[in-house]
Amino acid sequence: MLGSRSALLRAAAARPRGFSSMAVAQQPTLLKTLPNQMRVATEATGGETATVGVWIDTGSRYETDATNGVAHFLEHMAFKGTAKRSQTQLEMEVEQMGAHLNAYTSREQTVYYAKVMKSDVPKAVELLSDILLNSTFSPVRARPAAAAGLQTQAHMQFAPAPPRVAQAGFTARAAERAACPCAGRRQPRARGDSA
């Protein structure tokens, strides 16, 4: 019986696998710096979709106690309309492309990105450029964005990190700006309060 098992294993190993031809080698990431000092990274994935994004070095690490939460607030405000497009027009344009437009703020960066079909990359670049360069910041639109920030704070309050992660983030690096929450604080800290 042992001999027949090893024969089966040899036969199975000798057969070509149907899925092996589908493997695609990872292409290298190409980095280029434009004349305006913007760094561009591109990767060819072989698919029909693309993700276009802008990573901005502006997260809670770069904020002071007085400005904590501003990057997150501005992230929400960016999608409220531009000089060229109302919020509704912006949403309709993204919807008509079948795209996904989103953003997030971390301790290190704020990222704006669009997932689109490859043929829509120029349109996505134009859309992101318009949002980042021409956003209108209306006081009327600021209230919902501020409310979204408070909602994020509440979520973070009730979904704490595992104790070891929280301890590493807030105890070991308490003196660093990286220990500040991205969404800001609900209330300003009083003097002498710890992070």
**Catalytic positions, written as ranges:** 75
Sheet strands (E) in 66-106: 100-105
Is 183 in contact with 153 (CB distance < 8 Å)?
Answer: yes
Closest CA to 53 of 100, 5, 86, 98: 100
Is 184 in contact with 68 (CB distance < 8 Å)?
Answer: yes
Write out the two tokens for 81.
């309309």
Q: Residue 117, SS3?
A: strand
CB atoms within 10 A of CB 127: 24
Residue 28 to residue 45: CA distance in whole angstroms: 10
Residue 95 to residue 93: CA distance in whole angstroms: 5
